[in-house]
Each structure stands twice: as structure tokens, then as C-alpha cells.
Structure 1
Amino acid sequence: MPRQIFQLKMSLAGTRPPVWRRVLVPAGYTLDRLHRVVQHAMGWRDCHLHSFEIDAMQYGEPDPDGELALRDELDVRLDAVLGKGSRFSYTYDFGDWWEHDLVVEDALTADPDERYPVCLAGERACPPEGIGGPLGYQALLEALDDETGAGDLVNPRHAMLRDWAGSAFDPSGFDPDRATTLLRRFC
């Protein structure tokens, strides 16, 4: 039987303009592998806790202290809990609370000449880790839009945010080929 591939669209909730990715992943992946796909496709560094919510069930890395009631993501295959049209969520960094809305846009037969996972498309760079969630990211975007520093008197935090992000951060930048390279190397 040919391998099934899911086409997923992941969108970062609460960001304007939107940050999103479209990926192809084997339907036989477990949720822990999908976690790595989300991390590398979006551009996160995997330094914080995460969880999936599918049909009101929470999945993630089991908490040895038992404080988080999560089912083990290692035990759950995508094709056992998802199908074409399924919608679910992924939350990363319980402090900054980055919510990702995911949808299975299509279920395809694997191309025998293709290596998976693949990032097909996306827009905008992932927010920097530790920026303070969607509100902190919006403040950073406002500071970056104020390149001249004219708004620094009104909002002195702008200069600090621009310095913190550094000149290399380009919020509009995203390269699906680079994301695919990372996915194939680490997922």
C-alpha cells in the first residue's frame, strides 16, 4: 500500500500580518515528529514546552511530576487521530503562549521520488523567541516600522526592541527551501 502524505497548513495565531507555513508530512508520523516539523518549518528553537490539542485531547511530552495531564505524543500517529479537513492546535512556550492553528488541507499518495517532509510555502519570519508572545511581537513590528526612530520619544521602548532583535532580523523573510533542508536534516 502506498504511503499517505498529509498537506498541513500551520498558521501562527494572533499575528498580523500572518505568519504561516504549508508542509507535506507522512501521515504515519507520530505527534513528536510533527512537533519537530512545526519547530523547524516555523523557525522556533525548541527551547520551551509544547502541546497539541486534537478533539479536546491534550498531547505532549509526559510530565514526570504529573502536573500537566498530557497523553504521550510518542504513542500517537497522525493518521490515527487526523484526516483530510481535521483542525487542531499546537501551543509552544507556555509563557509567551504561541498558538498555531493547523489544518489537514489534503491527504495525498506519496511521490516515490520525493523525500518528506517538505515545506511547500509560507510567509514571514518566525517571531524571535522570548519576545513576549503576540503582543510583544506586535510591539517589535511597530518598532521596526519606525526605522528613523521618530517614534522613540513617544515610545522609548522602540529603540530597545530594535536593538534586541538586531539588524539581521527581517520580519518579511522566509525561505521554504531552507525550511525543507532543516526538516530533512532534523525530522
Structure 2
Amino acid sequence: MAKPPVPKAVALRVELLEVAPLVWRRVLVPDSWTLASLHHYLQWTMGWTDSHVHEFEIGAGLVAPDWWIREAGSEEEASRYRDERRVSVAAVVAELGPRGEFEYRYDMGDGWEHRIVIESIPPSRLGVLPLPVCVAGENACPPEDVGGPRGYAGFLAVLGDRRHEQHADLVRWIGGVFDPKGFDL
């Protein structure tokens, strides 16, 4: 019996911008995935909870969930977007080429911006690892609703100062210990 074909994989490096320490992940995903599937995997691998709206910016175009497009204020606004269920990772790679970059934005209120870089894949890795898979990364993702990059910097400053008047409140809010360098595959 013949083995099933190995899906084509795309390696992506995902970096959360404007935070220190740098939060990043390297993931291998099937090129057949839609950006809707990629969004859900990014939520999981970065440590987000999918509690807010998101969008991708690819070249000069925007890609978003269909419900976000339907909620756009006008037809003109809606026409700026493509439905993420109809855009594949392979199409993004074809549009941007190897080493191309695109953006993933999450939580428009907090303003989390991620740079996604298309990386090459060593042929020896294909067929060995199940897809999708996160193969590398560093540092913990900021907590939801912390206030974006500036809020996160303030959050870390308060957590690092046991004498700060808000320290105990933030420890309770986060549910205990938060290690900004914590990350485990």
C-alpha cells in the first residue's frame, strides 16, 4: 500500500513587535491551510485566547474573518478585505515569495502586531514532523488585555517591584507567577 502524500509545509517565523523581551515562534504549517486556520494556530502557539478581532495585512491588501467584513461600516470599507477562509498559505507564499513578510494584527484595542516571515524549510524536516508544529520560540506572550506594548512594559515593571502599590493586585489579576522568559515547546 502506498504511503499518503506528505503535505507541503511552509516555515513561518512569527515575531510579536514592540515588546521586550522579544516573543517569537517558528512554526511549520501545511501550505493548504487557509489564513483562518493559520489564525487559530497562531492564537494557540503564541498564547493568545482568541478573545478579540484580528486581521492580516499582505502586501497592500487586508484579510479578515467574514463576520468582520460583514460588520464593516460600508461596502467601500468591506471591499478593502478578502475573506480569510478563501486565502491559503500557499497563495500568500506565491504572492510574496520566499523570505516575504506579512503582518498579523490581534486585538485592535491593545494593538498587538506580529511580523510573519516566510522561511525556507530543510527538506529533511518534511515528512518527519507532523503538521502543524511549533519547532522553536522564545519568551512568554503577554497576558490578554494588558494594554498593548506600553501596558505590557508597565506590567513587567510593576511585577518586578514588590514594593509597588499595584504589585499585589497585578499578581492576583494574572493568577500568580508570570515569567516573561517562560516558553516551552
- Scaled by the length of structure 2, the TM-score of the pair is 0.84
Range with greater deviation from structure 2 (104-113 or 33-42): 104-113
Alignment of 1:27-42 (within 5 A): 27-42=31-46
Contact 1:97 1:133 in 2 (8 A): yes
Matched, 1:125 2:129: no
CA contact (8 A) 2:171 2:177 kept: no
CA contact (8 A) 1:8 1:104 kept: yes
Q: Which runs of 5+ in 2 are unaligned?
A: none
The residue aligned with 1:179 is none
Taking the aligned partners of 1:142 and 1:50, their CA distance within structure 2 comes to 28
1:64 alignment counterpart: 70
State which drifts further: 100-109 or 36-45.
100-109
> Which residue number in structure 2 is paired with residue 6 of structure 1?
10
> Are the aligned partners of 1:7 and 1:108 in contact in 2 as well (CA < 8 Å)?
no
Question: TM-score, normalized by length of structure 1?
Answer: 0.83
Corresponding residue for 2:101? Answer: 87
Deviation above 6 Å: which 4+ runs of structure 1? none
| Distance (whole Å) between structure 2 residues aligned to residue 76 and residue 24 of structure 1 | 17
Q: What do the CA deviations read for 1:127-182 (whole angstroms, capped 9, x no partner)?
A: 11011111111011111221x31xx2xxx344433332232322211111xxxxxx
Aligned to 2:19: 15
- How many residue pairs match? The answer is 170
| Corresponding residue of 2:155 | 140
Rounded Cα–Cα distance in structure 2 between residues aligned with 1:172 and 1:8: 21
- Unmatched runs of 5 consecutive residues or more in structure 1: 177-187
Q: Aligned pair 1:170/2:183, yes or no?
A: no
Quick check: 1:101 aligned with 2:107? no
Specify whether residues 77 and 108 from structure 1 end up closer, same or farther in structure 2 by C-alpha distance, changes over 3 A only: farther
Work out whether residues 53 and 88 of structure 1, in 8 Å CA contact, stay in contact via their aligned partners in 2: yes
Alpha-carbon spacing, 1:2–1:108, altered in 2? closer, same or farther (3 Å): farther
Per-residue deviation, 1:113: 4.0
